[in-house]
Structure 1
Amino acid sequence: MNNTPKAFPIFDICCVALLLVFLFLLPSKLFKSPTSFVVEASNGNLLSAAIASDGQWRFPVADSVPVKFKDCIIAFEDKRYYHHFGIDFLAMSRAMRQNLKAKSVVSGGSTLTMQVIRLSRKQDRTIWQKLLEMLLALRLEVKYSKAEILGLYAANAPFGSNVVGLEAASWRYYGRDANTLSWGEMATLAVLPNSPSLVHPGKNATRLIKKRNDLLDKLAKLGYIDQSTANLSKLEPVPGKPLPLPQNAPHLLNRFKAERASLEINSTRIKSTLNEDLQIKINSILKRFNNRYRANDINNISALVLNAKNGSVVSYVGNIYQPEITDLQSHVDMIKAPRSPGSTLKPLLYASMLNDGFVLPHTLVPDIPTQIAGYSPQNYDLGYDGAISADKALSRSLNIPAVKMLQQYKYERFYDKLKKIGIGTLNQPADHYGLSLILGGSEVTMWDLANTYMGMVRTLNHFNTYKGLYNPEDYRPASYFTSEKKEEKDYQMNSFLDHGSIWATFNAMEEVMRPGDEGLWEQFSSSQRVAWKTGTSFGFRDAWAIGLTPNYVVCVWVGNADGEGRPGLVGIEAAAPVLFDIFKLLPNGKWFETPITKLRKLKVCKQSGYKAGENCPVIIDEMVPTAGEKTAVCPYHKLIHLDKTGTYRVTDQCESVTNMQHRNWFILPPAMEYYYKIKNSDYRSLPPFMPGCETSGGNNVMELIYPKNAAVVYIPLELDGTRGKVVLNAAHRNQNAKIYWHIDNEYIATTTNYHQFAISPMPGKHTLTLVDENGERLVQVFTVMDKEQKRN
């Protein structure tokens, strides 16, 4: 018996080899040409597109092909498309007969599958290439479905000029989506790939109309449409020159181009979350305001609208879009541009201080002339209230109280908080910004600012949903494209800002008077409740407005992309009107639910807004954030002793205790009192001591308003070259008191009632001594810089 194994038949080897060749004959990626970047609205309509890098309008392959185009192209090119496997032998034999009879190539006999192969390979048309196309067509039919092959054809067929693919052709020639085209329009496009260099819109219109009409008759003959529809379709005009594509979101398109790799999106097309109707209307609003502002050389404006319910972008207008006017720099996406935030960070400081137990909503904070290490903030109106509640300081956007609050909170702590809640442009150490951080001394982007406020809105919206817990994902930036990524549920006991602090902050932001309405808007039930804040950067370079409801966050910026400042470029006048015009487009809804379990009933001193102490005469119950229990007791109410007439203050050294009246008195420090009583007529200054009644000193009856202790003062030269003067200013509790002023132990002046005068001390360190008529003393030092030191 012969046990020698039989040799593997050569025929079988060849079959296996041919099978392997056949299987790997088709490249993994059929078309490698670059595609246009395309941004669609949430409803699927085209918002913006950019030409591909090779200069062609070529959209990525669509998910589906319109039925009309399928019927038209099959009737025109390959009527047995659904009945062959890539090669139509009947059509091939017919084409051979026609070509032999005409002694030239008059018919190709190629199927749509073979045309897809030819479009992908771009080789010369020879007999060998034709045979290879047939083989590859068979392989293509094995790998792809008929619908997918039609999709490849529709996306890559030439439509004349630099237009490739049905979608690009539909927009370039008709200005509409392919799904909306009529039979006449679709038939026109279907005949173009047959000879795009000879027949396309704007060229050989007569020949194009004949080819279209012939196709319409064929469609009627094959039963796709009736003859009357065909006849009516023949009356439609063919398009002329190509149309520009929509550019309703060009800045988002550029953002997508820049971020596509990091977003791990393979296609150059995204279906965005933008609301098409809202996007177009906001574009119109911004253009209207821009036309008005350009008269003052304010050239740029942008707006961002976020849906706080689902964390998505519903409108993204990075700038007005006028590329033909290069001086306007309308190509700059101001939503991504770092700019000075002005006062828009103040609510974040207010919320942080409530959250960490530094203040209560109505706690009085100082509003007096302030100088801190050479830094002298000013209120926008250049006035002072002396003392003002924290919430009103926020609603009026006063600078000095904000700086005083940041000084108390510590700018290092606030800096860390801002970074945690989403402000990603703080690239310098905290000391670089210092206290100016709260007045726009840093840079932020509209994107970060809007997303930070959206994080607060989402946190408060989810109070009941998460049963009082917190999800850090609430601060995740909004998404501008549809994604299947699910929100992670990582509930925590604590957050960056608690529900109660956010709720109180939004209440304070809601109290701001709306521009142009003089506060009367509250009387109209149709008015939408909006918590909002404006901001103006130093030098009038940036005007901001940000507003929020439980459903939406809207951020508006107005200014010049090159940073040029302009008079009148302030948030309340330039940005706020735009903000409220946008809110008019948004649906109204319920206000935030009160987070009851994250608030505590606390006894609060009505006059000072502090936690009530034993000397507070009027105490109210107030719902405050839970951390309010840690705040300080009222420092401004003190027990004083009066004589039996209640006219003078007394001590036990000059008056019997039995004859005294003991009163709780609201006492502000002298500098705060000096300004506070001007705006608060019911403020009662401390009564004077009874004549002859000795005091032990240290009664804090005087305070130097300017300069503060250890201040550094620079005195500039006047226009005539003479040395200027510095104005000294002090406050005394007794309006009729005299103050004797001394510099370096040398008497210089006496003031009564109004304690202010100007002097010109020499450069160097000086000691200022104030003595009143009762011998009370106040000693402070200040330094005058010379001109050379100032320059350094």
Structure 2
Amino acid sequence: MHRLIRFIKKHPVKITIFIVLLIIYFFCLPDPLFRDPSSTVIESKNGDLLGARIAEDGQWRFPESDSVPEKFEQCILHFEDEYFYYHPGFNPVSVAKAMVHNLKAGRVIRGGSTITQQVIRLSRDGKRRTYVEKFVEIILATRLELRCSKQKILALYTSHAPFGSNVVGLDVAAWRYFGVLPHQLSWAESATLAVLPNAPALIYPGKNQETLRKKRNRLLKKLLEKEVIDSTTYTLAITEPLPQKPFPLPQTAPHLLQYAGRNHAGKRIRTTVSHDLQHRVNNIVKQHYGILKQNEVYNAAVLVMDVHTREVLAYTGNTPTDKKHQKDVDIIHAPRSTGSIMKPFLYAAMLDAGELLPHTLVPDVPTQISGYTPENFDPKYDGAVAADNALARSLNIPFVRMLQEYGLERFRDKLSKFRLKDIDKPADYYGLTLILGGAESNLWDLCKTYASLASTVNHFRETSSEYYTGEFTEPVWMAGEKAGFGDISREKTVLDAGSIYLTFQAMQELNRPEGNEAWQYFDSSKRIAWKTGTSFGNRDAWAIGVTKDYVVGVWAGNADGEGRPGLTGVTAAAPVLFDVFDALPVSASFPVPFDELAEAEVCRNSGYMATPLCPKKTIRIPLTGQRTSPCPFHHLVHLDQNRRYRINTSCETVTNIVTEPWFTLPPIMEYYYKTNHTGYKSLPPFRADCFTEGPAAMDFIYPEEGRTVVLPKNFEGTTNKLVVKIAHSKPGTTVFWYLDEHFLGHTRTFHEMAVLPEEGKHLITVIDEFGNEIKRRIEVKR
């Protein structure tokens, strides 16, 4: 110790220089060593290549790999650097031999570089190959050996070595020249690639084949002599053909690659996508694209999620169309008009709030609300329809009226809890059209929401009737990420499990949604809760299906927004949906959330809570449903002995009055309901000698309030008349008709009146014999 101190004091300059050199040596190696841009690469959950995007400098250069396949390692070491695992970064013997050969030749004919030195040379691309540069390489190589393990250095080499043309690194070379993953390379293929970094121009397609073959075979011969491979392997290897042309890199999920590149450019990303399922979904979309384009529909997208993990299993963002038809647009994240796809959310919300029961009758009659006149896809009316049936058939008018009853602002607030990012405007902006496609959303968010609803039911049973606070979480598409479901809570997250379960039951009903064309696509053996949607003008066709395990979402249409006749969720999207479900394992039924459901007696005819006056049936309803109002449509009526007329004590003794319950709908609902329900019986008229009790009611059937009516001409050139219709609650009542206070006539049995008004605005007035009056304002055009 004393000697060291004396030496330092005696030679301060030398010590200082040594320390400076040591510091320079320590910091001389750049970190990171390589700064070249990389390709963006995505892989399946099992490591299969799904797609890659060329690096910014035009090179196919994958991000650095952590490992080197055994076959290629043996090949590259025996070809380039047999003593790689023994030298400190340079091989003095090789350097000496190279200097002797070069001096004798008078030029550089032998390099003597180790793999570590070649890594340094690749990182210093562009430097002239001089003896000074060689010395710098040796210094940096020794420093690299101190920083990195041998395995890391070898991985750096295989990731950055040139393999001809714009191919850099083994990962790309394996795909470009042999169409396989690096670990799938044969001995012959590994040997071919091992000799390329030494002379990358040899791989030029169609040229230098014999030179390349000789170099490969010499390497294979060396491997045989070193007993790395046996004679059989050698014999087979030398007969393998050389690559003739580059293979295209897989583009199995190009739109997911595009999505990944937004925030992870230049990275290698292991995704949650199933390679096999992605291929099957791509083929399904390709097959249906061939059908859709016959109707000039060019775009479609499919998203498949795992309900339990929220992992994305398949991501097909568009059809294999062309650039003219926007093949590069990722439809999955594109905001599109939702059509009817959000109706189940309103249905579940009303069940959850205790304001609706599954079979409650809701009006399906001509409707106008604040100037808005919704219409069903099929322009007919049921008068009254069970709520679950209205959902299964995707009827528009009942849901507009349900939304008005539930509250537009209230429903908008509920949607905000689903985190539908494209629904970002206040309720008044959308109005009642919100439930029919007046808002835009995207396939990602909608599938996420349906998956969260399904998961709520699953978790409720798995956690002994509890919920997760973060149930409506974002899906995950990067392997290793976990969906954050939050903490367990006794309180529901957004909707209770019972309401969601009953909504899915309604969506499983064997009814044909919207039109009658698509029932052939439904496999009743698979209990899929599914919903279709069609936007105004036939621009967007939706179908989303959910089971206990999977959610499948489909959109079809034109990316530029052009509508096409016949483009509906049923005809365009549903067939794709069920083909995708056929490619998935069959799921069990949703678990029944017993603790959120109660058995209750409801009226068989109306679906309301039962009263003593109605025939009953027992169904499951949400716990909150027990507070819904009792049936308003069943009441007692007094009849004569023959039950032909209604009577009262003004015309008959009490002993001759027969009292029985009767199911009666309001006039306008009754008018349409009885045409579809032959068993419906209208109230009998009062006997002529009886004093009529109770208020009479009537309502317009046609035209609707504020409607502009166009009167066409017939073949003779005569203008057709306008036929005005009303419904009256008391059969046989006389009503009197007026047009702008001019008397038109009266009707008694069938309340219809043909009029021929002039162009302009008019007021139609109807008065019955009891003095009741209704009015309707219209505008007539010819």
Please give the range of the TM-score, normalised by the shorter of the 2 chains: over 0.9
**2:675 corresponds to 1:683:** no
CA distance in structure 2 between the aligned counterparts of 1:376 and 1:486, rounded to whole angstroms: 42
What stretches of structure 1 of length at least 5 have no aligned partner?
262-266, 788-792
Aligned to 2:742: 746
* Count of aligned pairs between the two proteins: 770
**2:559 corresponds to 1:555:** no
Partner residue of 1:480 out of 477, 482, 486: 477
Q: Is the 8 A contact 2:685 2:731 kept in 1?
A: no
Change (3 A) 1:516 1:435: closer
1:539-596 per-position Cα deviation (integer Å, ceiling 9, x unaligned)? 1111111111111101111111111111221111121111111111111131111000
Give 3-state SS (helix, strand or coil) of 2:58's partner: coil
CA distance in structure 1 between the aligned counterparts of 2:412 and 2:518, rounded to whole angstroms: 36
Q: Is the 8 A contact 1:384 1:675 kept in 2?
A: yes
Q: Is the 8 A contact 1:703 1:778 kept in 2?
A: no
1:704-762 per-position Cα deviation (integer Å, ceiling 9, x unaligned)? 22345xx3232447589999875532112345444221234432232344333454556
Partner residue of 1:106 out of 106, 109, 119: 109
Give 3-state SS (helix, strand or coil) of 2:636's partner: strand
Aligned to 1:730: 726
CA distance in structure 2 between the aligned counterparts of 1:722 and 1:19, rounded to whole angstroms: 107
**2:309 corresponds to 1:316:** no
Q: For residues 593-632 of structure 1, what are the structure 2 equivalents within 5 Å?
A: 593-614=591-612, 616-632=613-629
Give 3-state SS (helix, strand or coil) of 1:214's partner: helix
Cα displacement (A) at 1:308: 0.8
What stretches of structure 2 of length at least 5 have no aligned partner?
1-5
Aligned to 2:3: none
For structure 1, which segment, 179-188 or 125-134, has the greater mean C-alpha deviation from structure 2 after superposition? 125-134
CA distance in structure 1 between the aligned counterparts of 2:693 and 2:481, rounded to whole angstroms: 75
Q: Quick one: which amino acid aligns to residue 297 of structure 1?
A: E
Aligned to 1:570: 568
Aligned to 1:659: 656
Partner residue of 2:155 out of 129, 151, 157: 151
Partner residue of 1:417 out of 414, 417, 421: 414
Change (3 A) 1:245 1:719: farther
CA distance in structure 1 between the aligned counterparts of 2:646 and 2:178, rounded to whole angstroms: 90
**2:699 corresponds to 1:703:** yes
Aligned to 1:636: 633
Aligned to 2:132: 128
Give 3-state SS (helix, strand or coil) of 1:729's partner: strand
For structure 1, which segment, 430-439 or 162-171, has the greater mean C-alpha deviation from structure 2 after superposition? 430-439
Q: Quick one: which amino acid aligns to residue 551 of structure 2?
A: V
1:158-204 per-position Cα deviation (integer Å, ceiling 9, x unaligned)? 00100000010111111111111100011001111002135544431
Q: Is the 8 A contact 1:698 1:776 kept in 2?
A: no
Q: Quick one: which amino acid aligns to residue 554 of structure 1?
A: V
Q: Is the 8 A contact 1:371 1:707 kept in 2?
A: no
Q: Quick one: which amino acid aligns to residue 48 of structure 1?
A: G
Cα displacement (A) at 1:486: 6.2
CA distance in structure 1 between the aligned counterparts of 2:505 and 2:520, rounded to whole angstroms: 16
Aligned to 2:214: 210
Cα displacement (A) at 1:364: 0.4
Give 3-state SS (helix, strand or coil) of 2:441's partner: coil
Partner residue of 1:35 out of 22, 31, 38: 38
**2:75 corresponds to 1:72:** yes
CA distance in structure 2 between the aligned counterparts of 1:78 and 1:598, rounded to whole angstroms: 71
**2:108 corresponds to 1:87:** no
RMSD: 2.5
Q: Quick one: which amino acid aligns to residue 595 of structure 2?
A: T
Give 3-state SS (helix, strand or coil) of 2:286's partner: helix
For structure 1, which segment, 370-379 or 195-204, has the greater mean C-alpha deviation from structure 2 after superposition? 195-204
Cα displacement (A) at 1:767: 5.0
Cα displacement (A) at 1:103: 2.1
Aligned to 1:295: 294
Partner residue of 2:259 out of 255, 260, 269: 255
CA distance in structure 2 between the aligned counterparts of 1:593 and 1:57, rounded to whole angstroms: 50
Give 3-state SS (helix, strand or coil) of 1:81's partner: coil
CA distance in structure 1 between the aligned counterparts of 2:13 and 2:408, rounded to whole angstroms: 84
Q: For residues 109-508 of structure 1, what are the structure 2 equivalents within 5 Å?
A: 109-122=112-125, 123-260=127-264, 268-322=267-321, 325-485=322-482, 487-492=484-489, 493-508=491-506
Q: Quick one: which amino acid aligns to residue 553 of structure 1?
A: V
CA distance in structure 1 between the aligned counterparts of 2:663 and 2:604, rounded to whole angstroms: 11
Cα displacement (A) at 1:130: 1.2
Give 3-state SS (helix, strand or coil) of 2:527's partner: coil
CA distance in structure 2 between the aligned counterparts of 1:488 and 1:731, rounded to whole angstroms: 54
Cα displacement (A) at 1:513: 4.4
Give 3-state SS (helix, strand or coil) of 1:301's partner: strand
Q: Quick one: which amino acid aligns to residue 300 of structure 1?
A: N
Change (3 A) 1:220 1:356: same
1:31-86 per-position Cα deviation (integer Å, ceiling 9, x unaligned)? 11111111111111111111111100000012311111111111111100000111
CA distance in structure 2 between the aligned counterparts of 1:574 and 1:337, rounded to whole angstroms: 18
Cα displacement (A) at 1:334: 1.1
Cα displacement (A) at 1:269: 1.1
CA distance in structure 2 between the aligned counterparts of 1:354 and 1:445, rounded to whole angstroms: 25
1:440-486 per-position Cα deviation (integer Å, ceiling 9, x unaligned)? 11111111111110110111111122222221332212111112446
**2:667 corresponds to 1:670:** yes
CA distance in structure 2 between the aligned counterparts of 1:374 and 1:724, rounded to whole angstroms: 26
Aligned to 1:790: none
Cα displacement (A) at 1:686: 0.8
Give 3-state SS (helix, strand or coil) of 2:707's partner: strand
Partner residue of 2:64 out of 61, 64, 70: 61
Give 3-state SS (helix, strand or coil) of 1:475's partner: coil
CA distance in structure 1 between the aligned counterparts of 2:520 and 2:614, rounded to whole angstroms: 32
Q: Is the 8 A contact 1:697 1:776 kept in 2?
A: no
Partner residue of 1:778 out of 767, 773, 782: 773
Cα displacement (A) at 1:330: 1.2
Q: Is the 8 A contact 1:308 1:551 kept in 2?
A: yes
Change (3 A) 1:642 1:488: closer
Aligned to 2:589: 591
Give 3-state SS (helix, strand or coil) of 1:672's partner: helix
Change (3 A) 1:67 1:598: same
For structure 1, which segment, 458-467 or 384-393, has the greater mean C-alpha deviation from structure 2 after superposition? 458-467
CA distance in structure 1 between the aligned counterparts of 2:131 and 2:767, rounded to whole angstroms: 112
Change (3 A) 1:102 1:761: same
Change (3 A) 1:500 1:274: same
Q: Quick one: which amino acid aligns to residue 68 of structure 1?
A: K
For structure 1, which segment, 757-766 or 666-675, has the greater mean C-alpha deviation from structure 2 after superposition? 757-766
Give 3-state SS (helix, strand or coil) of 2:488's partner: coil
CA distance in structure 2 between the aligned counterparts of 1:158 and 1:311, rounded to whole angstroms: 40
Q: Is the 8 A contact 1:199 1:207 kept in 2?
A: no
Change (3 A) 1:257 1:537: same
Cα displacement (A) at 1:781: 4.6
CA distance in structure 2 between the aligned counterparts of 1:446 and 1:384, rounded to whole angstroms: 31
Q: Quick one: which amino acid aligns to residue 170 of structure 1?
A: A
Q: Is the 8 A contact 1:762 1:784 kept in 2?
A: no
Give 3-state SS (helix, strand or coil) of 1:343's partner: coil
Q: Is the 8 A contact 1:113 1:137 kept in 2?
A: yes
Aligned to 1:14: 17
CA distance in structure 2 between the aligned counterparts of 1:270 and 1:724, rounded to whole angstroms: 69
For structure 1, which segment, 130-139 or 412-421, has the greater mean C-alpha deviation from structure 2 after superposition? 412-421
Change (3 A) 1:513 1:707: closer
1:609-667 per-position Cα deviation (integer Å, ceiling 9, x unaligned)? 011234x3212332101110232221111122223443322333333334322222111
